[in-house]
Amino acid sequence: MDTLQAYFNTHKDRFLEELFELIRIPSVSSDPNHREDMYKAAEKLRSFLEKAGAENSKVYETAGHPVVYADKIFDPSLPTVMVYGHYDVQPADPLELWETPPFEPQIRKTELHPEGAIFARGADDDKGQMFMHVKAFEAMVAEGVLPCNVKFMIEGEEEIGSPSLGAFCEANKEMLHSDVILVSDTGLINKETPTITTGLRGLSYVQVEVTGPNRDLHSGLYGGGVANPLNILCDMVARLHDENKRITIEGFYDDVLEVSDDERAKMNLAPFDLDEYRKSIGIEEESGETGFTTIERTSIRPTLDLNGIWGGFTGEGAKTVLPSKAFAKISMRLVPNQDPAKISELFEKHFKSLAPKSVKVKVEYHHGGYATVTPVDTPEYKAAEMAMQKTFGKEVIPIRSGGSIPIIALFEKVLGVKSVLMGFGLDSNAIHSPNEHYSLFTFYKGIETIPYYYQFYSELKKS
């Protein structure tokens, strides 16, 4: 392991330069205009994996964006770790809010990151985090200290709900067989605190369309006599929560697994400062379901949020119009045991029941996925705990995150393999937002930590 540190020191600038090459390819999975870039990013990543010492590297076509696979199999009797990550990114807009262009990575120092942070779309989520694995692997191969078999499966559709990856896994079960799936696509509580994510929320994402009159109307001539679908939509959305901020959809909470008082008490021990939380996002007061703390509200409780709402006139100036249609995008974050398909149906039924006769309602389903809880009493998890403890010098804190990586639950179902979520992001990294960044401290900390995972995991499996 000491030889690795020397290797990192010698090559750390090149690691960054290579990551920048990957970041410069705008692999926005949701945008058809970037289809070519998806292939470019996949091929670039494949070539990096090959140069790092992986074999069988290949860009696999799917019905959607390609999957990059590569491996290094020393001995089939050794344990096999499969690294999962994603090379696709969220759209960069609103562009005008970026201080430097999103696909021209730059290192800037900030108050929180005096050592510097990489500013770019994908710097954290997930190019930066995924790339730590490529570089840790490269170093272990170069120094001849890799104690396990390794597979890489890096997809290009995570940010759009991984629509093709389930079928890819079904079709390649043998190739993707492993003992554990290791993922760095989550976060730390803060820079100093080693953290492992032991749960993720599920997701159900819908779009609604409310139609009133058959055309836009003059809001003077018709206003007052005709239902305005925008007014109605706002009213319907407002009725989706009660005064305790509980979701009013009938049956919504039926399958929710309540968390024991003991576990709730434990999760509230995690370092968390409400004042800092408020300050960091510029709010005077937090808000959420009565009876739960902010940590609980954002991890073990299901939620319903508008992600966008539009209709009518939104241009500059004023135009007097009573719109024909109103739209909204709504996400529901789910907890273990809630079925995303069932929740979407319950939503549709309930939402339609809220509509007056004066409008018609259409509900369209976007992506969804199940929540995840990972076991903590396995060698797969323990190895991560030991590795992080080693490099941070502190005891690991397990957390359940509010974010979603729906494919993790599917891995368990299709491949029968559980995941370990050892991520190095920070909530303040502004993923999905303008000025996304990833601190150099966590980038190098991750690269340093990952080899210990392999070392401890192989030792635990031997004993």
Between residues 80 and 197, which has the closer beta carbon with respect to Mn ion?
A: 197
Among residue numbers 378 through 417, which ones bind ligand BES (CB under 6 A)? 401, 403-406
- Binding range to ligand BES, per CB under 6 A, among 137-145, 153-161, 220-228, 334-342: 153-161
Q: Give the whole-angstrom CA distance, residue 203 versus residue 191.
A: 28
* 425 contributes a contact to ligand BES by CB under 6 A: yes
Q: Taking each helix axis from N to C terminus, what angle separates 35-51 and 2-23, rounded to the nearest 10 degrees?
A: 160
Token reading at 72: 């290094």
Q: How far is the CB of 350 from Mn ion (least distance, A)?
A: 28
* 187 contributes a contact to ligand BES by CB under 6 A: yes
Distances (CA, A) of 3 to 6, 142, 319, 427: 5, 10, 68, 33
Q: How far is the CB of 154 from ligand BES (least distance, A)?
A: 13
Token reading at 101: 């262009």
Q: How far is the CB of 432 from ligand BES (least distance, A)?
A: 6
- Binding range to Mn ion, per CB under 5 A, among 22-30, 34-42, 124-132, 365-373: 124-132
Q: Which does 367 bind (CB under 5 to 8 A by kind): ligand BES, Mn ion, none?
A: ligand BES
Q: Give the whole-angstrom CA distance, residue 82 versus residue 179.
A: 8
Q: How far is the CB of 392 from Mn ion (least distance, A)?
A: 22
Q: Which does 187 bind (CB under 5 to 8 A by kind): Mn ion, ligand BES, none?
A: ligand BES
Between residues 80 and 186, which has the closer beta carbon with respect to ligand BES?
A: 186
Number of residues binding to Mn ion, judged by CB under 5 A = 3
Q: Which does 406 bind (CB under 5 to 8 A by kind): ligand BES, Mn ion, none?
A: ligand BES
Q: How far is the CB of 64 from ligand BES (least distance, A)?
A: 13
Do the bridges between strand 117-119 and strand 106-108 make them parallel or antiparallel, or are there none, so unpaired? antiparallel
Q: Give the whole-angstrom CA distance, residue 27 versus residue 42.
A: 9
Q: How far is the CB of 205 from Mn ion (least distance, A)?
A: 13
Of 367, 382, 390, 461, the residue at the interface with ligand BES (CB under 6 A) is 367
Q: Which does 425 bind (CB under 5 to 8 A by kind): Mn ion, ligand BES, none?
A: ligand BES
Count of CB atoms within 10 A of residue 359's CB?
20
Between residues 186 and 439, which has the closer beta carbon with respect to ligand BES?
A: 186
Q: Which does 71 bind (CB under 5 to 8 A by kind): Mn ion, ligand BES, none?
A: none
Among residue numbers 165 through 194, which ones bind Mn ion (CB under 5 A)? 185
Q: Give the whole-angstrom CA distance, residue 227 versus residue 241.
A: 22
* 159 contributes a contact to ligand BES by CB under 6 A: yes
* 83 contributes a contact to ligand BES by CB under 6 A: no
* 158 contributes a contact to ligand BES by CB under 6 A: yes
Q: Give the whole-angstrom CA distance, residue 86 versus residue 89.
A: 8
Between residues 133 and 325, which has the closer beta carbon with respect to ligand BES?
A: 133
Total residues belonging to the chain: 463
Q: Give the whole-angstrom CA distance, residue 404 versus residue 413.
A: 16
Do the bridges between strand 180-183 and strand 80-86 make them parallel or antiparallel, or are there none, so unpaired? parallel
Contact 150, 71 (CB under 8 A): yes
Q: Which does 404 bind (CB under 5 to 8 A by kind): ligand BES, Mn ion, none?
A: ligand BES
Contact 335, 300 (CB under 8 A): yes
Of 18, 37, 124, 125, the residue at the interface with Mn ion (CB under 5 A) is 125
Q: How far is the CB of 238 from ligand BES (least distance, A)?
A: 24
Count of CB atoms within 10 A of residue 74's CB?
12
Q: Give the whole-angstrom CA distance, residue 226 versus residue 13.
A: 64
Best CA proximity match to 90, nearest among 123, 121, 44 = 121
Of 18, 37, 71, 125, the residue at the interface with ligand BES (CB under 6 A) is 125
Q: How far is the CB of 4 from ligand BES (least distance, A)?
A: 26
Instruction: Go through 172-181 and write b for each residue having 16 or more CB atoms within 10 A of its CB, e for each that does not.
Output: eeebbebbbb
Q: How far is the CB of 121 from ligand BES (least distance, A)?
A: 12
* 126 contributes a contact to Mn ion by CB under 5 A: yes
Contact 157, 89 (CB under 8 A): no
For 348-388, give the DSSP string.
Answer: HHHHHHT--TTSEEEEEEEEEE--EE--SSSHHHHHHHHHH
Cα atoms in the 13 Å half-sphere on the side-chain side of 180: 26
Cα atoms in the 13 Å half-sphere on the side-chain side of 357: 0
What residues make contact with Mn ion under the rule CB under 5 A? 125-126, 185
Q: Under the rule (CB under 6 A), what is the footprint of ligand BES?
A: 125-126, 158-159, 161, 185-187, 200, 203, 367, 401, 403-406, 425
